[in-house]
Amino acid sequence: MYQSRGLAGTEGLPFNGVKIFAATLFADRDRLGDRVTDWINTHPDNHITDIIVTQSSDAAYHCLSITVFYHSN
């Protein structure tokens, strides 16, 4: 089981929003970090409280997910 440690200085802060970014194709996985950064930059009022990166695979596909927890005023 994964236990989140939070981002520096955000331990225990509540969140009221979750944004999930996921990709299975190599080119999409390669750009996933840029998509997350763009979303964060276009939502400056959101206070990011945690980010979790998850990888899953089967015989044919590899999936990368980035889950962003945030508090929005």
Q: Write the pLDDT tens digit of every residue in 38-67.
A: 999 999 999 999 999 999 998 888 999 999
The DSSP annotation for the chain comes to ------STT-TT----EEEEEEE-SHHHHHTHHHHHHHHHHH-TTEEEEEEEEEEEE-SS-EEEEEEEEEEE-
Domain spans of the chain? 17-72
pLDDT of 8 reads: 56
pLDDT of 73 reads: 81
> Residue 2: pLDDT above 50?
no
Across 17-42, average pLDDT: 95
Across 21-42, average pLDDT: 95
Residue 20 pLDDT class (50, 70, 90 cuts): very high
Give the CATH architecture of domain 17-72. 2-Layer Sandwich (3.30)
